[in-house]
Amino acid sequence: MLLEACGLTYSYPGGVPALADLSLTVTRGKRLAILGPNGAGKTTLLLHLNGTLSPSSGRVLLNGTAMGYSRKELTAWRRQVGLVLQDADDQLFAASVAEDVSFGPLNLGLDDGEARERVSDALAALRIADLADRPTHMLSFGQKKRVAIAGAIAMRPDMLLLDEPTAGLDHHGSVHLLAVLEKLEAMGTTLVFTTHDVDLAYGFAHEVALFNAGRVVAQGAAAKVLADRDVMNQAHLNVPVILQLGLKARALGLLADDDALPRSGQDAVLLLERAVSGRA
């Protein structure tokens, strides 16, 4: 287990309740999708998982150690746990793209050469090397988002929290981002992301935590949680269409119980082709 949130309760100033005795675990190497309706507390949780907000009760454990909130402890915490905010405008602050992405690696105390290499790798991975000298405020929404993600991956954290990473990206941008995240994962980063996209959660995550009203209503294997109509309804979500199709194929005997369920559109097309050729 990498990180544990135990009984977190938090209200924003003015008394708006956001987290209510929330518990959740993140296992090393298992991609976790956090799903839930607007206002459920997803962003507030991520802000607790890297120490930006501290709970009024409960605690966060990283590798079994309860985290503290002194300046020194927070610096160490954020080196291990990176966060990409929902809105890139809240994240970017430097004058140029290259400066923004360099800030983290330089602060890690890396020598100039290594920091430069990390920055150019991150810019290349997000395909924004050509934007390096551009002012961050003069970029499109999707370009800003990529810069924010490049800044986070240049830190090579143990764990990366991404708040709605694909929202607002075009289709190719989303597919490409997932490939970049897979590479980062292969280097040892555990991925946690929030989303409203049930298809993304089903196709990409290993585990899903469903939120409602500041609590986790279910956490477990993606295909299991996402197939549970009752809890999905509670979180105002639908069962992913490809999962519905796979479960139907099983019920009709077109797929054996121990056959893998389709996870992508392409898997679903293959299943359909197999079913039709079996009938011929």
Ligand X SMILES: Nc1ncnc2c1ncn2[C@@H]1O[C@H](COP(=O)(O)OP(=O)(O)OP(=O)(O)O)[C@@H](O)[C@H]1O
Contacts of 212 (CB under 8 A, 6+ apart): 36, 37, 40, 234, 235, 236
CB of 25 vs ligand X, minimal distance in Å: 19
CB of 86 vs Mg ion, minimal distance in Å: 5
How far CA 260 is from CA of 99, 117, 223, 263, 268, in Å, comes to: 46, 41, 11, 9, 11
d(CA 166, CA 180): 12
Question: Please, what's the largest Cα pairwise distance for the chain?
Answer: 69
- Binding partner selected for residue 40 from ligand X, Mg ion, none, CB under the kind-specific 5 to 8 Å limit: ligand X
- Residue closer to Mg ion by CB (options 177, 227) is 177
How many CB atoms neighbour CB 130 within 10 A?
A: 9
Stretch of 39-47, 96-104, 109-117, 174-182 contacting ligand X, by CB under 6 A: 39-47
The yes or no reply on residue 240 touching ligand X (CB under 6 A) is no
Q: Which two tokens stand for residue 188?
A: 């040892």
Cβ atoms 253, 279 nearer than 8 A: no
* # binding residues, ligand X (CB under 6 A): 12
The yes or no reply on residue 168 touching ligand X (CB under 6 A) is no
Based on the number of CB atoms within 10 Å of its own CB, is 277 exposed (0-12), middle (13-18) or buried (19 or more)? exposed
Nearest to 238 by CA among 227, 251, 249: 227
Q: Any idea which residue has 């290594």 for tokens?
A: 114
The yes or no reply on residue 95 touching ligand X (CB under 6 A) is no
The yes or no reply on residue 48 touching ligand X (CB under 6 A) is no
Q: Out of 41, 82, 157, 262, point to the residue binding ligand X (CB under 6 A).
A: 41
The yes or no reply on residue 91 touching Mg ion (CB under 5 A) is no
The yes or no reply on residue 144 touching ligand X (CB under 6 A) is no
CB of 244 vs ligand X, minimal distance in Å: 23
Q: Out of 40, 53, 154, 271, point to the residue binding ligand X (CB under 6 A).
A: 40
- Residue closer to ligand X by CB (options 123, 209) is 209
Q: Out of 22, 24, 30, 43, point to the residue binding Mg ion (CB under 5 A).
A: 43
Q: Which residues bind ligand X (CB under 6 A)?
A: 12, 16, 18, 36, 38-44, 86
Q: Which residues bind Mg ion (CB under 5 A)?
A: 42-43
